[in-house]
Chains A and B, each alone.
Chain A
Amino acid sequence: MTSLSATPRSKRRPAAGWLHSPLASQIKAPVLCIGLTMALWQFLVQFNSEGFPGPIQVISQTWDPYIIHPFFDDGGTSKGLGLQLLISLQRVAVGYILAAVVGIGAGLAIGLNRFLRRGFDPLIQVLRTVPPLAWLPISLLLFQQADTAAIFVIFITAIWPIIINTAVGINEIPQDYTNVARVLRLRKRSYLRDILMPATAPYVFTGLRIAIGLAWLAIVAAEMLKADGGIGFFIWDAYNAGGDSSTSQIILAIGVIGLVGLGLDRLVGAVGNVVAKGGK
């Protein structure tokens, strides 16, 4: 049966060969589905009297300067999307790196010390569920300055998954490896370098990956409330301006935020795969 049906199919294949190339077969489905969604969107806005833009308007209204000149700078807060993104990314970088350093350190301490683990676990479980924006007022009170406050919000949002995963990673070091270390009487340094760190790395990177997503969520929200510049500010600014193309600017910014968030997630994932190779 299979041989019968296989013959005609293989005959037809050369006719549209490019359609069966690996790349084409991979993007075929997303291109089709996203295209249909856009078409539906465009179709639906026809009935909207308020002038909500369809995808075509979004692109045409933001084409100049936002899409083709991402790095224009008219002084003040009037900047291109690229520059706004850079400002946001800078804040994220500072807050996230701080969170990673402190979080891994705290995770190590909690993972290695049963007393600390028992003592801090309830606190961590409570604080990790606090939404990022709830930290903003207290952070403003503490630092008095919008920029530092935003960085602190990122830090405090991103740190919990890093602490938790690092601690879990240490707990989950297989008994076999610890036994090897005990039998060989490994020195503390060698234990850290040869067993603890490689065995925990995959868990740490899982934490870091969750953390980068949260950090990116937090920055947009924080900037919308209180900041000069940044992609969140850009959205809020466009909204307040209330011009013809405001809605299109907002939609464009949302798309950019999504793409950058995805990029960050993939980046941390890729670094993790390289660093923690063979750990699991």
Chain B
Amino acid sequence: MANTFLTVDDITRSFALPNGGQYVALKDIDLEIAEGEFISLIGHSGCGKSTLLNLMAGLDQANTGGILIDGRQVTDPGPDRMVVFQNYSLLPWQTVRQNIALAVNNVMRDASEAERRERIDNSIRMVGLAHATNKLPGELSGGMKQRVAIARALAIRPKLLLLDEPFGALDALTRGNLQQQLMEICQQSGVTTVMVTHSVDEALLLSDRVVCLTNGPAAGIGQILKVNLPRPRQRLEVMEHPDYYRLRSELINFLQQQRRLKQHRQTLSANLAAFEAAEPTPTAPTTAMAQRKLRIGYLPGLDVAPLAVGMERGFFRERDIQVIPVVFHRWQQMEEQLRAGDLDVAITSASAPLALALGLNGQPAWPAITPMTVTRSGNAICLARRLRDLGIQSLEDLATLKGREWPLRLAIGQKGSMQELLLRHWLASGGIDPDRDVEFQTLSPLAIQAALLAGEIDGFIAGRYRVAKSVEAGLAFVLATDLDIWSGHPEKVLTCHEGWAASHESLLLEFCGGLIRAGQICEDGGQHEGLVGLLSRPQWLGNDSALALQRQFDLGNGQASGRRLPLNRYHSDRAHVANSAEGAWILTQFSRWGWSPFPSNRLELLGQVYRNDLCNAALEQVGLPALRPERQPLPMACGLPFDQDDPIGYLAQLPFSHTTTQAVVPLPSGDAQRTHADH
């Protein structure tokens, strides 16, 4: 942004409830507003729009975070930030002129009498009320009162104009006229304006950007929409602009999704209440015991280190959770058991919750959620040794193989996994069409080495442990790592059924808390030896893993080992966040490769699947600060950052994208009463 005028930095505002609790109205709001910009805040009632406006005005103070205007922190209200209140707030005992004069005389104390009078007259004329100067507000219509309020606000030349649903109480005709007038006035004076509104059309007509707030409690910014309609705008012309209806439907979509999300949460908790009422817990201690059991599915790999550490250190036992780890060798198998309810939770690929919720690969949609990210990064793309001997040292070199070693046969652990998405993205960024030039083979991670040896594959993408073993065995070399694709991408996440999570929330939170503490230990360099010893036990990776884990090996490409394989991130740098922006990227890739239409109700879907609220509750339980996803675009190594507010624009710029269709995807409903609690 060229000229940041106002910065909302990490604002959280909560109110004390009479019963001693806290109502969090706004949570973690970040926003930058440029000088002269017109911003609208839109969202359902009770989402904290007006609270945010009051914070900007200085009428209210945030619990954490702050607001900077021109580099100075807002601590109290002042005339440089004039507010036009919802119900006009004119003094009924003063005439139009006196009302405006009160503001002008107070603010322009040093100006001469004549100067002030001129200012007052001008602002009355500006809103066309010269004939009503000596009337009391009670004698004016609603529209006229609002014009007086606007005149009063602008008469003192504020730097920031704050409008709280200024036209809410007016009839349609007056509303339209006033919107047009306000737009002209703002444009002439160049004042930076923030307006709270309910009306989608009003927001689009007036704004440069529309900031959409999610539902309270703990409302945040759901989406920021740029309105690039040419100025000066005319009501009717704007509506004929080709972009208008796209923007409009985007906004309406957002609001509808927020409403459905709210309803969805309500049904879920209602179901849960009915479920608990139907099952009297105190009579049967065995049920209580059974509820503390947690069956977790995983595939061997470095990603399970937190689980291993958590169990070893007794993080779960001390909370009376009996964790039953169930090892799988194929991702497919594990997902089937998760769907069937034989597993409570699973450590899955980061793309799995969305794939399950969308019902990819012809499966029925399943209401998956993810409460936390288990690991980030840790992947590498390896090619068979044979190709190194052909002189392949980079992605560009690989592209030159076209026509010779073609199509490339590359192994992935699971169709639609995060690894496949990364591999495809990386190949496409080097001019290789994954759908035409590559033959993907889905192999169990355990089978990769054998396939390499047999010459059945030319390469693969896998986690550090598999890569290390293949490099160690002299079968493969590393061509690219996460750093070359997306550094810090989510790799493995915890996945479970939405209904199960709702009915076992405390169990899930305590389990997540244990995993988070274990993640801290996994990343502690001093614990490395112990970690390797633990992981090489037979129930995790096995005896021969110690060798691969212990050595600081090179990438197997003959270069000096200046660049080492990046390690998994288990904890640091906000690793645990269940970040819906990352989910949005995953959705773009699903749609890019034609696996699903791009969901036009993506925010609803992401809101349902990415439960960072659970992550934060778990963090709080173990005494760690809450984490929140940032709104900055995700940096990608290919140079095209991903902006979660404009996924369609992003898709359009990606090479080899299928023509994307957008569609409303039906969301699986999380029924709390599924047959699950009985194992």
A→B interface (CB under 8 Å): 176-177, 179-180, 182-187, 190, 194-195, 198-199, 277-280
Contact = CB atoms under 8 A, between A and B. Distances in A.
A186 B91 CA distance: 14
A198 B91 contact: yes
B92 A183 contact: no
A186 B59 contact: no
A176 B312 CA distance: 61
Contacts of B107: 184-185
A187 B103 CA distance: 11
B85 A198 contact: no
B106 A177 contact: no
B79 A278 contact: no
A177 B99 CA distance: 11
Q: Across the A-B interface, give the 4 residue pairs with the lowest CB-CB distance, nearest first.
A: A176-B89, A198-B93, A278-B93, A182-B77
B636 interface: no
Contacts of B291: none
B489 interface: no
B452 interface: no
A279 B94 CA distance: 10
Given A185-B77, A194-B94, A180 B106 contact: no
Contacts of B76: 182
A278 B89 contact: no
30 contacts: A176-B87, A177-B89, A177-B91, A179-B77, A179-B83, A179-B85, A179-B89, A182-B76, A183-B57, A183-B59, A183-B79, A183-B82, A183-B83, A184-B103, A184-B106, A184-B107, A185-B77, A185-B78, A185-B107, A187-B106, A190-B106, A194-B102, A195-B91, A198-B91, A277-B93, A278-B93, A278-B136, A278-B138, A279-B92, A279-B93
Contacts, number: 56
Nearest to B78: A185
Given A185-B77, A187-B106, A278-B136, A180 B91 contact: yes
Contacts of B91: 177, 180, 194-195, 198
A176 B92 CA distance: 12
A277 B107 CA distance: 27
Contacts of B571: none
Contacts of B77: 179, 182-183, 185
Nearest to A195: B91
Contacts of A280: 92
B106 A183 contact: no
A211 to B, nearest CB: 23
Contacts of B156: 184
B341 to A, nearest CB: 53
Nearest to A279: B93
Nearest to B76: A182
Contacts of A278: 92-93, 136, 138
B41 to A, nearest CB: 18
B606 to A, nearest CB: 37
Contacts of B93: 198-199, 277-279
Nearest to A280: B92
Given A198-B94, A278-B138, A280-B92, 7 more contacts: A176-B85, A177-B89, A180-B85, A180-B91, A183-B82, A194-B91, A279-B92
Contacts of A184: 79, 102-103, 106-107, 156
B195 to A, nearest CB: 16
Interface in B42-61: 57, 59
Contacts of B78: 183, 185
B159 interface: no
B81 interface: yes
The CB with the most chain B CB atoms within 10 A, among A184, A194, A195, A199, is that of A184
A180 B57 CA distance: 11
Nearest to B153: A183
Nearest to B162: A183
A185 B59 CA distance: 11
Contacts of B83: 179, 183
A268 B156 CA distance: 40
Contacts of B57: 183
A180 B136 CA distance: 17
A184 B94 CA distance: 16
Nearest to B109: A187
Contacts of B136: 278
B92 A186 contact: no
The CB with the most chain A CB atoms within 10 A, among B77, B81, B136, is that of B77
A198 B94 CA distance: 9
Contacts of B138: 278
Contacts of A186: 102, 106
B59 A179 contact: yes
A199 B90 CA distance: 12
Given A190-B102, A278-B136, A182 B92 contact: no
Contact of B59 (A182, A187, A190, A277): A182
